[in-house]
Amino acid sequence: MSMTEADVLVIGGGLHGLGAALDLARRGQRVVVIERNWVGAHASGATAAGVRSLWRDPAEIALAREAIELWHRMPEVVGDDCGYVAHGQLRLAAAAGVGALEARAAQTAALGWQHERIVGHNEIRRLVPGVSSRYVAGLFVADEGSADPHRTLRAYRAAAEAAGVVIHEGTEVTAVERRGTRWVLRGAGITAAAPQVINAAGAWAARVAEMFGEHITLSTMPAMMIVTERVAPIPMPVIGVVGGPLSLKQTSQGTLLIGGGLEGAPDLDRARAEVRMAILAQGARTAVDVLPGMADVVITRTWAGMEAQTSDALPVIGRSDVAPGLVHAFGFSGHGFALLPSVARVVGDLVAGEGGRHDLTPFRPGRLHPDAVGEGADARSG
Ligand SMILES: Cc1cc2nc3c(=O)[nH]c(=O)nc-3n(C[C@H](O)[C@H](O)[C@H](O)COP(=O)(O)OP(=O)(O)OC[C@H]3O[C@@H](n4cnc5c(N)ncnc54)[C@H](O)[C@@H]3O)c2cc1C
């Protein structure tokens, strides 16, 4: 079998693999993406596609706000708006949660961020006319919202291929070998070599790292979604609540999408996640608790997808300090869709040996090496 030669090989054809590949191809690099199933087969095809910096870990806010600025300019980035609509992001609080809202607002203000704004009783009723009277306040960001995941996948794929990226689907990387200054990757039907490799293998990224001799401690987030029948337009932002797993939005097709931390059952070996009805029911109840008018809306479909979950819910973005030429971009812990355009630039910078756009220290891979785990565990962001 002949050897495919490239400057950069990307393992994983999800959005983060495609985004980094696009960025590097535009810098003149020869880039090959190797995807086990098909582009968008896993988290990137299952995602709810919410775009928010609201309620994120402070370490991610700069990356998220840069991404939001780029979501507004998607036609310039990939030639399509990716269905992005800035209908706002709102985190609601019942009386018991108001203290948490105020603490969050004070924290982000102290860090110099101005975009999150506390809204009171009257304004949340204006933003969400049917909202339950239990909710008395909220934290609101006006310029955030959601996109269309499949349109985003199509646009990123088309832009990447137009920039010269070669995508191999149905090809699992099963072996890695170091030859001189290059890595040789093998999978069914392909042998490919390059000095630089990006690990964008989502839920399987620790297994890929292992092939390079790097041990990373990861777990799997099997996020579930509920979608309903189409209903009349409800003017509302994407809604979350303080203290509960909820993300509720209306899509441009009129369906309601409910998710936000509902977890199913993952099976990494079979590459599938199954839904758990009892937990889905809790999610549906929380949604009806927020919007009582939804009580009779019919659920039409549910699904689960998976991606890597880190112990601090922050992604892994950085150069491996074990394997030369290996750059990691995974572990988005259920909220990596929003970060796509800014992470693509940052990963491009890392591979190109440029940097300084963001402080990547909180995302360093070494924090999840077995001897380091425990340092910062349990700081899950909302
Ligand atoms: C149900 C659900 C809802 C979500 N909602 C939101 C949301 O509202 N907002 C938000 O910001 N984020 C959300 N997320 C998270 C977001 O979708 C992910 O962070 C993002 O899609 C991750 O993209 P990725 O490219 O890293 O991973 P993936 O899309 O999973 O891509 C990784 C790819 O690597 C491939 N691969 C693995 N091993 C190998 C190998 N050995 N060889 C070749 N290929 C390999 C896999 O087949 C896979 O296609 C959600 C996720 C899920 C599952």
Listed by start position, the domains of the chain span 3-46+150-218+311-368, 89-142+219-308
Q: At what angle do helices 15-26 and 340-352 cross, to 10 degrees?
A: 50
Give the C-alpha separation, 239 to 287, whole Å: 9
Average pLDDT for 158-182: 98
Average pLDDT for 109-113: 96
pLDDT over threshold 90, residue 340: yes
Q: Is the CB of 225 under 6 A from ligand 1?
A: yes
User: Reduced to 3 states, what is the DSSP secondary structure of residue 90?
Assistant: strand
Could you tell me the distance, in angstroms and rounded to a whole number, from the CA of residue 117 to the centre of ligand 1? 30
* Whole-number pLDDT of residue 330: 98
Exposure b/e, 156-169, CB count within 10 A at least 16 = b: bbebbbebebbbbe
Q: Is the CB of 71 under 6 A from ligand 1?
A: no
Specify the CATH class of 3-46+150-218+311-368 in words.
Answer: alpha beta
What radius of gyration do the chain's Cα atoms show?
Answer: 21
pLDDT tens, residue by residue, 66-78: 999 999 999 999 9
Cα–Cα distances in Å, from 320 out to 29, 198, 307?
A: 20, 10, 20
Q: What tokens were used for 119? A: 């809204």
DSSP letters spanning 104-143: HHHHHHHTT----EEE-HHHHHHHSTT--TTEEEEEEETT
* Whole-number pLDDT of residue 379: 34
Q: Is the CB of 202 under 6 A from ligand 1?
A: yes
Cα–Cα distances in Å, from 34 out to 60, 110, 130, 180, 212?
A: 28, 43, 47, 22, 16
Query: Residue 230 CA to chain centroid, in angstroms?
Result: 26
Query: Residue 209 CA to chain centroid, in angstroms?
Result: 19
Mutate to test the pocket of ligand 1, among 53, 176, 332, 347 (most ligand atoms within 8 A of CB): 332
Atom from ligand 1 closest to the CA of residue 211: 41
Strands 3-5 and 190-194: parallel
CATH classification code of 89-142+219-308: 3.30.9.10
Give the percent of the chain with pLDDT over 70. 97
* Whole-number pLDDT of residue 380: 35
Q: Is the CB of 381 under 6 A from ligand 1?
A: no
Q: Which residue has the tokens 């491996």?
A: 320
pLDDT over threshold 70, residue 359: yes
pLDDT over threshold 60, residue 40: yes
* Whole-number pLDDT of residue 376: 45
Could you tell me the distance, in angstroms and rounded to a whole number, from the CA of residue 163 to the centre of ligand 1? 22
Could you tell me the distance, in angstroms and rounded to a whole number, from the CA of residue 86 to the centre of ligand 1? 23
Could you tell me the distance, in angstroms and rounded to a whole number, from the CA of residue 312 to the centre of ligand 1? 18
**Which among 9, 53, 16, 11 has a CA at the least distance from the CA of 347?**
16
Could you tell me the distance, in angstroms and rounded to a whole number, from the CA of residue 6 to the centre of ligand 1? 24
Name residue 179's amino acid. Answer: R
Q: pLDDT-based confidence at 153, cuts 50/70/90?
A: very high
pLDDT over threshold 90, residue 254: yes
Per DSSP (E only), the strands in 275-312 are 299-309
Atom from ligand 1 closest to the CA of residue 339: 11
pLDDT over threshold 60, residue 232: yes
Atom from ligand 1 closest to the CA of residue 208: 41
